[in-house]
Amino acid sequence: MKKLCIILPFYNEVDVLPLCLERLRHVLNETPYSYTLLFVDDGSLDDGATFIKEQSFTDSRIHLLRLSRNFGKEAAVTAALDHAQAEATILMDVDLQDPPELIPSMMETFYETHVDVVLMQRVSRSGESWWKRQSARLFYRVLYSLSPLEMPVDSGDFRLLSHKAVLALRQLREGNRYMKGLMTWIGLPSTSLPYHRESRIAGTTKWNQLQLIGLAVDAITSFTALPLRLSSIIGFGCALSALVFGGWIVIETLTTGVHVPGYASLAAFVTWIGGLQLLAIGLLGEYVGKLYIESKKRPLYVLRDVYPPMDVPES
């Protein structure tokens, strides 16, 4: 039988886990695939891990990785990829915004096209505010325009990876991780399928605006140094403008003997220059901070428990 592994990271999702498990079983039991459900508890504070642990005692297809604390979704996905053992591995959220009913189509596409990555591309996002939809749309297009890689737009974590792709991702161990970018960086053949992202079936999102902004900054600074280059270009333009403006004042004063009035405009100009300098220093700090974190070479995650016990497969 063809082997399939479903990776399901979660954090404080006790309300939705039973519903997710029920729908997954309903879909997967009708397929010809031998499957494993690999849940990853990212340091939850509720009883979600206890529920999955109890399920693993009665169903050998269910496995649970518990991280020692909340390391973040990117680290949780990395932990699961380090343990996945299947011909095809699918990443999806437990909140059922990624419909399990699409798994058979993903598998059929995988075996028919022989690609290594099947991307699920969102054509709509139900149950989300106008602001979130538009900000996500803007982020993907800014990242696409800045990155030297051809980043897919409107594609989240919901995707299928071949075993070759999983092995390639295991080799990438940087601490500042943007998994969707890393999955593009490996450069293996891919295809995409359109789908409609559904509303949450239960619970609430664990991502706030600051966390989403932080993820966007990590994504951009992890895959391109273009912001630093742009800040240098803007700085050069400002310096040239200041030189021309200062020369014009000197020439006017020498020819007319009249000093140019306008302390307000001068203060505004100095403030503008100061703001640009602080922006450039902040960008530089982002990159230096990432280098500092990488230099420590800390593990990406720490496992607390594994149910049932399983070894990390060899790369």
In which residue are the tokens 């690609």 written?
A: 115
148 and 89 inside one domain = yes
| 175 and 253 fall within a common domain | no
Provide the pLDDT confidence category of residue 296 given band limits of 50, 70 and 90.
confident
Indicate whether 32 belongs to any domain. yes
152 and 279 in a single domain? The answer is no
Q: Domain tally for the chain?
A: 2
Which among 173, 138, 204 has a CA at the least distance from the CA of 315? 173
Per-residue pLDDT of 219-270, as tens digits, reads: 666 666 667 767 777 777 776 776 677 677 667 667 776 655 665 566 667 7
Q: What is the predicted pLDDT for the residue at 193?
A: 93
217 falls within a domain = no
First to last CA, the chain: 22
On whether residue 211 sits in a domain, the answer given is: no
The answer to whether 39 and 10 are in contact (CB under 8 A) is yes
The radius of gyration of the chain's CA atoms, rounded to the nearest angstrom, is 25
Compute CA distances 297 → 7, 73, 174, 294, whole Å.
Answer: 26, 19, 8, 6
Residues 193 and 283 in one domain: no
Mean pLDDT across 147-152: 71
Average pLDDT, the chain: 82
Residues of the domain holding 114: 3-205+298-307
Give the pLDDT mean for 59-71.
94
pLDDT of 209 reads 62
What mean pLDDT is predicted for residues 119-134? 73
Instruction: Give the CATH number, domain containing residue 126.
Output: 3.90.550.10
pLDDT in tens, 182-216: 888 899 999 999 998 887 676 566 555 666 666 66
Residue 194 lies in a domain: yes
Please check whether residues 40 and 136 belong to one and the same domain: yes
Is residue 136 pLDDT above 60, yes or no? yes
Shared domain for 155 and 283, answered yes or no, is no
Position 304 pLDDT exceeds 70: yes
Is 216 a domain residue? no
* C-alpha closest to that of 155 among 190, 186, 115, 200: 190
Residue where the block lists tokens 């059929």 = 108
**Inter-axis angle of helices 103-113 and 17-28, nearest 10:** 50
* Same-domain status, 265 and 136: no
What would the mean pLDDT of 29-47 be, rounded to a whole number?
Answer: 93
- Same domain for 232 and 172? no
pLDDT score of 51: 95
Contacts made by residues 170-176, CB under 8 angstroms, sequence distance 24+ = 170/81, 170/82, 170/315, 171/315, 173/300, 174/222, 174/294, 175/290, 175/293, 175/294, 175/296, 175/298, 175/300, 176/218, 176/221, 176/222, 176/290, 176/293, 176/294
Instruction: Identify the pLDDT of residue 68.
Output: 95
Q: Is residue 27 part of a domain?
A: yes
Average pLDDT over residues 290-301: 83
Structure tokens at 21: 């498990």
Asked if residue 312 belongs to a domain, the reply is: no
Whether residue 314 lies inside any domain: the answer is no
Same domain, 154 and 176: yes
Residues 201 and 234 in one domain: no
Q: Is the same domain home to 164 and 32?
A: yes
Whether 163 and 285 map to the same domain: the answer is no
Q: Give yes or no for residue 49 having a pLDDT over 90.
A: yes
Point out the least confidently predicted range of 114-118, 178-182, 231-235.
Answer: 231-235
